[in-house]
Amino acid sequence: MMGRLLLFAAVGLAACTGLSPLPPPPSGLGTVAVAPVQNKTGAALVISGDGYLERWMGATRRTVPDALGHELETALRERGIGGGGGARLTVVLRRFEPDLPQLSYVAVSLAATLTDPDGTVRWSADRPSWLVSTTGAPSLASAYDTAARTVARGLVDGWQPAR
The two beta strands, 87-98 and 32-34, are parallel
The upper half-sphere exposure of residue 34, i.e. CA atoms within 13 Å in the direction of its Cβ, equals 23
What is the Cα–Cα distance from 39 to 85, expressed in whole angstroms?
A: 24
Topology, domain 2-155: Rossmann fold (3.40.50)
Using the Cα atoms of residue 39, residue 43, residue 47 and residue 53 in order, give the sign of their dihedral: positive
Parse the chain into domains and list their residue ranges.
Answer: 2-155
Using the Cα atoms of residue 120, residue 94, residue 106 and residue 143 in order, give the sign of their dihedral: positive
Q: 0.85 exceeded by the pTM?
A: no
Give the per-residue pLDDT at 61.
Answer: 75
C-alpha separations of 33 from 48, 56, 67, 73 in Å? 25, 34, 15, 8
Blockwise average pLDDT, block size 10, the chain, 163 residues: 49 49 86 96 84 64 93 95 88 96 96 95 95 95 96 94 82
Give the per-residue pLDDT at 52.
Answer: 65
Give the per-residue pLDDT at 64.
Answer: 95
Give the per-residue pLDDT at 94.
Answer: 97
